[in-house]
Structure 1
C-alpha cells in the first residue's frame, strides 16, 4: 500500500504526530509525505487512526493499493524495510550494553542493594523487552541483528536475576554477598560513571 498525504504547514504538532505514528507502524518514506507499507490487516487498522488525524488537521490523503512490483523494485523495498528494522535492533543492543548493564554495575559497585533499586531495574528491563517486541512485530522481512538483540535481552534478564539475588542476600545478611554478579567483585569503579537513563530510545 502507498499513503500519500498533505497537511497544513502550521501548526507543526499535527505533522510531527503523524510522522511519529508512521514511524511507529514501520512505514518507509519514498519521499516527503509518500509512505509504503505491507498490505496487512494490522497495518490497515493502525492506518485508520493516522488518516483520521490527517483529516482532522485539515489535510488530504490517498491510500492506494500497490500492484506487485518487479523483482528489482521489490528487492529495493525489502532492503529498505530490513535496513530500518536492523537499525532499531542495534539501538536496543546499544541500550542493553551501554546503559542497562552499566547501570547494574554502577548500583552494585556503590552497594545500592535495595528492593527499590531492584524494582526499578526490573521495570527498566521490561521496558526494553516491550521495545523489542514492538520492533519484532514490524520485522516483516527478517532483518539483521534480531538474534543479537534477543541474545542481549537474555543476558540482561540474567543480570536482573543476579542483582535481585544479591539484594536478597544483602537483606538477609546485612552484607554484600559473594553470590553477587561476578563483574561486581573488585576494587575499581565501573568505567564511565553512572549511565544515562535506561530505555530512553524506546518511545
Structure 2
C-alpha cells in the first residue's frame, strides 16, 4: 500500500469487516508516521444516510470506471489504427505496452477505493483483458514483421 497522507481527515463507511480492516491499516500507518488516529463505529441517525453514502461512493467510482473504459477504448483504437497502417515497429509496440501498463496501474489504484464493488469492476477488468489480448496480437505481428522469433 502506498503512503497515506491524511491531515485532519475523517472517513465514513458503513460497517463491514473489510472496512474495519481498511481503517485499522490506515490508522496503523498514521501512527507509524507519528500521527494520531481513532476509529469509531456509529449508527446513522437517519437510516437513509447509509444508502446515500453507498450511492455517492458508487457514483464517484462510476466516474472513474467510465474514464478508465474510455481510455481502454482509446488504446484499442490506437492498436487498430497502427494495425491498419501496418506500423509494426518495436517502438510502437513499446509505446502501446507502456499505455497498457498505465491502465493496469490505474485500475490497481481504483479498485481499493471501490468500497462497494458491483458490476463495474468486472467490466473494467474485461476492458483491460480486451486491451491485453489486442496487444498480444499486435505484438505477434511486430515480431513477424521484424523477422524475430518469440521464445
The question of a shared fold, defined as TM-score above 0.5 by the shorter chain, is answered with: yes
Count of matched residue positions in the alignment of Structure 1 and Structure 2: 137
CA distance in 2, matches of 1:143, 1:76: 16
2:103 equivalent among 107, 124, 128 = 128
Task: Please list every run of 5 or more consecutive structure 1 residues that lacks an aligned counterpart in the other structure.
Answer: 1-17, 23-32, 56-60, 174-203
CA distance in 2, matches of 1:37, 1:112: 50
**8 Å CA contact 1:86, 1:146 repeated in 2:** no
CA distance in 1, matches of 2:25, 2:141: 45
CA distance in 2, matches of 1:47, 1:115: 46
Cα 1:47/1:131, change in 2 over 3 Å: farther
Q: Which residue does the alignment assign to 1:86? A: 62
Offset of residue 151 of structure 1: 1.5
Offset of residue 107 of structure 1: 2.2
Cα RMSD (Å) of the superposition? Answer: 3.0
For each residue in 1:117-137, what CA deviation from the matched residue of structure 2 results, as whole angstroms up to 9, or x when unmatched?
A: 212211211210121122122
| Larger Rg computed on CA atoms | 1
2:88 equivalent among 113, 116, 121 = 113
CA distance in 2, matches of 1:114, 1:103: 14
**8 Å CA contact 1:86, 1:143 repeated in 2:** no
Q: Which residue does the alignment assign to 2:137? A: 162
CA distance in 1, matches of 2:27, 2:88: 46
From the two aligned structures, give the one with the greater helix fraction: 2
Cα 1:92/1:47, change in 2 over 3 Å: farther
SS at match of 1:140: coil
TM-score after normalising by structure 1: 0.55
Q: Which residue does the alignment assign to 2:16? A: none
TM-score after normalising by structure 2: 0.71
For each residue in 1:54-98, what CA deviation from the matched residue of structure 2 results, as whole angstroms up to 9, or x when unmatched?
A: x9xxxxx9966350225321111111111111211111101111x
